[in-house]
Amino acid sequence: MKGVTTLLEFQDVKWQLPSGEPIIKGITCKLDSRLTVITGPNGGGKTSLAKLIAGVEKCTSGKILLDGTDITDMDITGRAKLGIAYAFQQPVRFKGLTVRDLLELSAGEKLGHNELCALLGKVGLCAEEYIDREMSGALSGGEAKRIEIATVLARNVKLSVFDEPEAGIDLWSFSRLVETFEEIRNGTTGSLVIISHQERILSIADEIIVVADGTIRTAGPREEVLPKLLGGEYACRCPQRNGGGCQ
């Protein structure tokens, strides 16, 4: 495998809601490929896991290590400075901050027109149209989502986490985005962790982790995990299809 890989390690990580309801019920694994896709049924704990990586939430118990450094107690800023970038599932809107402002904050420097064009091009947006627009509610869901992704690409760090990057994005922009993920994977630095249900993203993964009910159900190389992903399981939880009856 080419390029430098970042090692992210979970050691018996647990997380519960303030009410005490357990969401992540003990996850131990090592993410050491260039592109890991975390997938699994809705409500299984994938987004919670992404938030635990970024530091948006803190583990209730267990440890998280990044390239051997214990980041468990590190706050979100500290983790960002250490090289973790996180694309929110729901893009955050700002009244007043423009697309340029956000991309420059992400990059940590002023960006020239060509750099802005290149960044927005990776998510299928034209810089001319967007750089001076506010990242406010005036942008459509798909536009905001793509800008959110561009803020993570602008950071160019060692570990980028994307939470359902496909959500709300049109087919054409999505194709461009998949190419961008492949470019990063095939480049010299930067590992990706992508939470996704999308077959095209699963098909470019090095490793796939299936998270369900707060634990890892399966994990391994794509070639092993992908073919049996849906084997023996109905997506539908209707009791009638599962042999039961309606109450």
Partner 1 sequence: MSNIMDVNFNGTTAEMLKIISDYDEVSGFAGAYNIREDSKCAGRRSSENITIESKEDKPGINIRVNPFTVGETVFIPACVTHSDVDDLVYNDFYIGEGADVVVVAGCGVHNDGEEQARHNGIHRFFLEKGARVLYKEKHIGTGKGTGLRKIDPVTDCVLDEDSYLEMDTIQLRGVDRTTRSTSAVLGKGAKIVVRERIMTDGDEEAVTKFHVELNGEDSGADLVSRSVARGNSHQAFYSVVEGNNRCTGHSACDAILADNGKVDAQPALNAANVDAALIHEAAIGKIAGEQILKLCSLGLTREEAEEKIIEGFLK
Instruction: Give the binding site for partner 1 (CB under 8 A).
Output: 54-56, 75-77, 80-81, 85-86, 88, 92, 94-98, 101-102, 105-106, 108, 151, 155
Rounded least distance, CB 147 to partner 1, Å: 11
Minimum Å gap between C-beta 108 and partner 1 is: 7
> Are residues 68 and 7 in contact, defined by beta-carbon separation less than 8 angstroms?
yes
Backbone angles phi, psi at 75, to 5 degrees: -80, 180
Q: How far apart are CA 45 and CA 56, in angstroms?
A: 14
Other C-beta atoms lying within 10 Å of the C-beta of residue 20: 7
Give whichever of 53 and 184 is closer to partner 1, judged by the CB atom: 53
Smallest gap from Cβ 197 to partner 1, in A, equals 23
Q: Which is nearer to partner 1, 60 or 90 (CB)?
A: 90
Count of beta carbons in the 10 Å neighbourhood of residue 30: 14
Residues 22 and 214: their CA atoms lie apart, in Å, by 8
With beta carbons less than 8 A apart as the criterion, state whether 205 and 37 touch: yes
Q: 137 in helix, strand or coil?
A: coil
Contact 162, 195 (CB under 8 A): yes
Closest distance of CB 143 from partner 1, Å = 16
Report the C-alpha gap between 213 and 40 in whole angstroms.
Answer: 9
Q: Cβ of residue 25: shortest distance to partner 1, in angstroms?
A: 25
